[in-house]
Amino acid sequence: MCGRFAITLPTDAMAQLFAAQPANDLPKVPNFNVCPTNPVHVVQAGDTGRQLVSMRWGFLPHWYKSESAGPLLINARAETIAEKPAFAKAARERRCLIPATGFYEWTKSEDGARLPWYIHRSDGAPIAFAAVWQNWGADDPVKTCAIVTTAANQGLSAVHHRMPLILEAEDWGKWLGEEGHGAARLMQPGPEGVLDYHRVDPAVNSNRAEGTELIEPFGEDDIPRGQLI
């Protein structure tokens, strides 16, 4: 899964990277602790080209009567996204990208402590999560989104059994629907050697934590042991 992430890329750099026109109401950056229900940067395709917009992280199906009417849908499993009523139409028609610098996962030590890990590209480049979006509400629609996840590749499986679907630049157009069909073929674990990870301060266990120190190495940096969570 992907339950927290960091974004440090300036807005103008994001717009340039994705060749997208930025909106005026984008979330502030940097944010080292992006949490569910927070507004996030999203790249979507449109008739006039790509747009960089703000959306609520937490997909709201159209039948929800309120934002808390059902489970908080921050992730959509690639294996079932085309079949789930909440996501099926979005998977066909409303795919998008969420920029990130890295993301967090947790293991559990033998004594039950939650141990956070920061996962990032080995080359230091920004990450593009595959995602889907949905307008929710009739009177004043709220744009909402969920990150697509796959089974973890071998390199990341020691930290977690799931991982966000990360797309390389050459696949962005296909995922966004700019290059015809074929997005389904992108929904598989990423290649080995692209991601690296290290332990970070347990302070990030709090959704109120902030600051660059959240992504800095902390404590022992061995291969994780104990229970995955």
Write down all domains in the chain, each with its CATH number in brackets: 5-228 (3.90.1680.10)
The answer to whether residue 226 scores a pLDDT higher than 80 is no
pTM summary value: 0.94
Distant-in-sequence, close-in-space partners of 148: CB < 8 Å, separation ≥ 6? 75, 76, 77, 78, 81, 129, 130, 131, 132, 164, 165, 187
Least confident window among 4-8, 52-56, 187-191, 210-214: 187-191
What are the CA-CA distances from residue 207 to residues 6, 168, 229 (Å)? Answer: 12, 29, 17
pLDDT of residue 83: 96
φ/ψ region of 133 (left if φ > 0, alpha if ψ in -120 to 50, else beta) reads: beta
Summarised one tens digit per residue, pLDDT across range 127-181 is: 999 999 999 998 889 999 999 999 999 999 989 999 999 999 999 999 999 998 8
pLDDT, mean of residues 75-81:
97
Pairing of strands 39-44, 50-57: antiparallel
The answer to whether residue 225 scores a pLDDT higher than 70 is no
What are the CA-CA distances from residue 210 to residues 6, 7, 120, 177 (Å)? Answer: 10, 12, 18, 35
Least confident window among 50-64, 96-110, 178-192, 198-212: 178-192
pLDDT of residue 211: 97
pLDDT, mean of residues 44-68:
96
Please, what is the average pLDDT of the chain? Answer: 93
